[in-house]
Amino acid sequence: MTTVFDSIIARAQAPFKNEPVVDFKQEDKQQAQLNALEQVKSELGQTYPLLIGGQKITNQQTFASVNPAQPEQVIGYFSAATIEQTNEAIRVANTTFDDWKRVPAVERASYLFAAADILRHRRFLMNAWMIYEVGKSWVEADADTAEAIDFLEFYAREMVRLSDKQPVIQAPGEENDLAYIPLGVGAVIPPWNFPCAIMVGMTSASFVAGNTVILKPASTAAAIAYQFIRILEEVGLPAGVVNYLTGSGAVIGDTLVEHPQIRYISFTGSRDVGLRIYERASKPHTGQIWLKRSILEMGGKDAIVVDETADLDAASTAIVTSAFGFQGQKCSAGSRAIIVKDVYDTVVQQVIQKAQPLATGDVTQPGTYMGAVIDENAFKKIIEYIEIGKGEAKLALGGEHHGPGYFIEPTIFTDVAADARIAQEEIFGPVLAIIKAEDYEDALRIANNTEYGLTGSLYSTDPQNIKQAREDFHVGNLYINRKCTGALVGAHPFGGFNMSGTDSKAGGRDYLLLFTQGKAITVKH
């Protein structure tokens, strides 16, 4: 007799395939997205509660998430969690863990499969929330949703695989097993720039592995995270497995990181915040009997290197796409283009020509490529860097900004020194530094001359140069003759070196190991 578990196992054993992105040139797809935008628009401005152990709690003190293109348009109001509520959420999650850790891995995986099915059905609605709340274009938002579906499908399969009998050596006279068991209560702190995909990936990896979660979304993307909470409620995830806390990181962040019952922190965000978490998580507190695990994905100052043998048209297209997709607000964004001198002028000209049409605008419209940057703080920081760049290099394109939203035009600096601030510091906006290299060796040296090591790309047809890049281009994700953004789950396990984080390899076969611990069990006959 076929059981429910049998069907889940069958789905888990089916080959994983990346979710296709939507072709918005198709009229029915375009209309579906327009309809979703209208529906979500009618839902803007609502007040959202905290969720602790299944209880919805609304505080008097709230904060607003706004549309970065129209800051007067409130996306939603969110309760500002207190330290006391944070402690209560951790207590509830810790109590829930005692039961959740005993739920079979196949059953835990079933919640991810069910959530993936609902997210597919609500794809255009989730896209719309991202278009409004963080200013993603239609294409960027849809790729984000597709990646979230991929994470759910992939991690469900991975948990079923890890729960199966592991290939350990059977010593004579013994029965040997290796079991991957959960850690405990985890603090999940996702970013605003991939507010669906990374938030869903970090959260689902945590609880499918048997952990319970305190999800503290970015304040500028809290409505998007709540849509996922609604999905988890609909699939019947037990109360207390995922708890939703909104509020200032300055108020509740340290409590989450330092609490003795928190077993791990999964964080994606800036270098400075990541380092603060790393330091504070390393210090044991009264009652803490473990070393906390820090799973950190931080910044990047990613480079695309172009040598004299490259397809220059393809390289220049990749440079523009990598630098200005989602306003350059990606840790993987190609914010440096390093071009050998023999083809420098040609590539610069092509990059400028291809970037010129990329005007910013209303991302609720299907053809808009770039929207506003996330908020006023980011807006001011990027403008400051543009002013710094004007004193360091030649402004070749853009540099303009306008309101009332936080719009900054695609900005390109040329003849940038390798040690210039705009070539070394993460700007996290639509600013590209183009650097001239003497030769390929020099280009590779410049590419590695940064404290980061997340993504990198080489455009070349020289087999020796490609071989050398494989060995010496020091990044966690290296792409040959391909843009440096857009990692695919399963195909490009994602995570970087140096100050880019702990090389977590999200979307890869190693990722769930970060949320588990291996228990070797031996029975002597």
Q: What is the mean pLDDT of the chain?
A: 97
- Mean pLDDT to the nearest integer, 201-226: 98
- Mean pLDDT to the nearest integer, 361-377: 96
Q: How confident is residue 359, by pLDDT bands cut at 50, 70 and 90?
A: confident
Q: Residue 331 catalytic?
A: yes
Q: What is the DSSP string of 66-96?
A: EETTEEEEEEEEEE---HHHHHHHHHHHHHH
3-state secondary structure of 259: coil
pLDDT at 1: 44
pLDDT at 51: 98
Q: Residue 407, exposed/middle/buried by CB under 10 A (0-12, 13-18, 19+)?
A: buried
Q: Residue 451 catalytic?
A: no
Helix and strand element counts for the chain (H, E): 16, 23
Report the C-alpha gap between 232 and 225 in whole angstroms.
11
Phi, psi angle pair for 335, to nearest 5°: -85, -5
Phi, psi angle pair for 414, to nearest 5°: -115, 170
- Mean pLDDT to the nearest integer, 127-149: 98
Which CATH number among 3.40.309.10, 3.40.190.10, 2.50.20.10, 1.10.287.4070 corresponds to the domain 302-488? 3.40.309.10
Residue 463's H or E segment, with its range, is: helix 463-472
Report the C-alpha gap between 340 and 337 in whole angstroms.
10
- Mean pLDDT to the nearest integer, 248-252: 90
Residue 107's H or E segment, with its range, is: helix 105-121
Which CATH number among 3.40.50.12780, 3.40.605.10, 3.40.50.300, 3.40.640.10 corresponds to the domain 26-69+77-298+504-524? 3.40.605.10
Per-residue pLDDT reduced to its tens digit, 23-53: 999 999 999 999 999 999 999 999 999 999 9
pLDDT at 2: 56
Amino acid letter, residue 431: V
Residue matched to tokens 């210039």: 420
- Structural contact between residues 459 and 339, judged by C-beta atoms closer than 8 angstroms: no
- Mean pLDDT to the nearest integer, 481-497: 98
Per-residue pLDDT reduced to its tens digit, 392-401: 999 999 999 9
DSSP label at 370? Answer: B
Per-residue pLDDT reduced to its tens digit, 413-462: 999 999 999 999 999 999 999 999 999 999 999 999 999 999 999 999 99
pLDDT exceeds cutoff 80 at 361: yes
Q: How confident is residue 409, by pLDDT bands cut at 50, 70 and 90?
A: very high
pLDDT exceeds cutoff 90 at 382: yes
- Structural contact between residues 458 and 485, judged by C-beta atoms closer than 8 angstroms: no
Q: Please report, for the chain, the start and end positions of each structural domain, with discontinuous segments joined by +.
A: 26-69+77-298+504-524, 302-488
Sequence-ordered alpha helix ranges (H) in 308-401: 312-324, 341-355, 376-392
pLDDT exceeds cutoff 60 at 55: yes
Residue 489's H or E segment, with its range, is: none
Q: How confident is residue 325, by pLDDT bands cut at 50, 70 and 90?
A: very high
Q: Residue 61, exposed/middle/buried by CB under 10 A (0-12, 13-18, 19+)?
A: exposed
This prediction's pTM:
0.98
Catalytic position from the list 153, 297, 392, 426: 297
Q: What whole-number percentage of the chain has pLDDT above 70?
A: 100
Report the C-alpha gap between 60 and 37 in whole angstroms.
29
pLDDT at 403: 84
Catalytic position from the list 331, 409, 426, 484: 331
- Mean pLDDT to the nearest integer, 476-496: 98
Nearest to 55 by CA among 88, 10, 18: 88
Report the C-alpha gap between 203 and 503 in whole angstroms.
18
pLDDT at 350: 98
